[in-house]
């Protein structure tokens, strides 16, 4: 099974690409952080990312989703991974929790994700949402943290440049459809 990760700056278009892949019949897994934020906000918590348990909640949901989809398709595409959660912890100035550290160890030792990561480049803007309250300038800093974190852990970034959705989708499909080497 090949599990690919889409990563990049907030608002770069990862979710649009993921949804289009799903519409085309590919096995896709949604981003966990957005779900964790939405659940907390539905309970009346405005800024769940300020909570100490936030990172661990994301990691737990990522692991659950990955394990639930295990074996369901030869190729899967994930909107973010625990490496992205590590980048988030770094960006927020949080220590690596025991839960995050254990999950990073597991995905490495079990080779859960492909070493090629689809790095979706920013579009030149970042539109705020209820879950995404980050300026464009801050999103560029966060993008750099993602890039450095993946590289430090030995992943190869496949650059998907800014552009229209069909062109970006074609670039992603050329990677995930290629025979394994």
- Residue 123 — pLDDT band, cuts 50, 70, 90? confident
Residue 10 pLDDT: 84
Residue 155 pLDDT: 97
The answer as to whether 145 is a domain residue is yes
Determine the 3-state secondary structure of 164 from DSSP.
coil
Determine the 3-state secondary structure of 157 from DSSP.
strand
Question: What is the CATH classification number for the domain harbouring 32?
Answer: 3.40.50.300
Q: For residue range 100-113, list pLDDT tens digits in order.
A: 999 999 999 999 99
Question: What range does the domain containing 38 cover?
Answer: 2-176
The answer as to whether 181 is a domain residue is no
List the structure tokens of 162: 């800014």
Determine the 3-state secondary structure of 112 from DSSP.
coil
| Average pLDDT of the residues in 77-94 | 96
Q: What is the CA radius of gyration of the chain?
A: 15
Listing from the earlier edge strand, what are the strands of the sheet with 27-29?
Answer: 27-29, 75-79, 2-8, 116-120, 156-160
For the chain, percent of residues with pLDDT exceeding 90: 73
Number of domains, the chain = 1
Residue 119 forms beta bridges with which residues? 7, 159
The whole-model pTM stands at: 0.92
Q: Is a pLDDT exceeding 70 seen at residue 126?
A: no
């Amino acid at each position: 099974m090949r599990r690919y990760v889409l990563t990049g700056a907030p608002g770069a278009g990862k979710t649009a690409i993921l949804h289009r892949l799903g519409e085309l019949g590919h096995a896709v897994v949604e981003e966990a952080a957005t779900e964790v934020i939405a659940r907390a906000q539905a309970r009346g918590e405005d800024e769940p990312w300020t909570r100490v348990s936030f990172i661990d909640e994301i990691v737990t949901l990522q692991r659950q989703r990955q394990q639930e989809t295990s074996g369901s398709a030869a190729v899967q595409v994930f909107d973010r991974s625990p490496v992205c959660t590590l980048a988030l912890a770094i960006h927020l100035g949080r220590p690596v929790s025991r839960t995050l550290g254990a999950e990073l160890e597991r995905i490495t030792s079990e080779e859960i994700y492909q070493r090629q990561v689809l790095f979706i480049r920013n579009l030149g803007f970042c539109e705020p949402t209820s879950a995404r309250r980050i300026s464009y300038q801050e999103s560029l800093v966060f993008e750099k943290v993602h890039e450095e974190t993946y590289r430090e852990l030995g992943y190869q970034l496949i650059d998907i440049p800014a552009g229209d959705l069909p062109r970006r989708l074609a670039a992603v499909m050329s990677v995930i459809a290629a025979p394994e080497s």
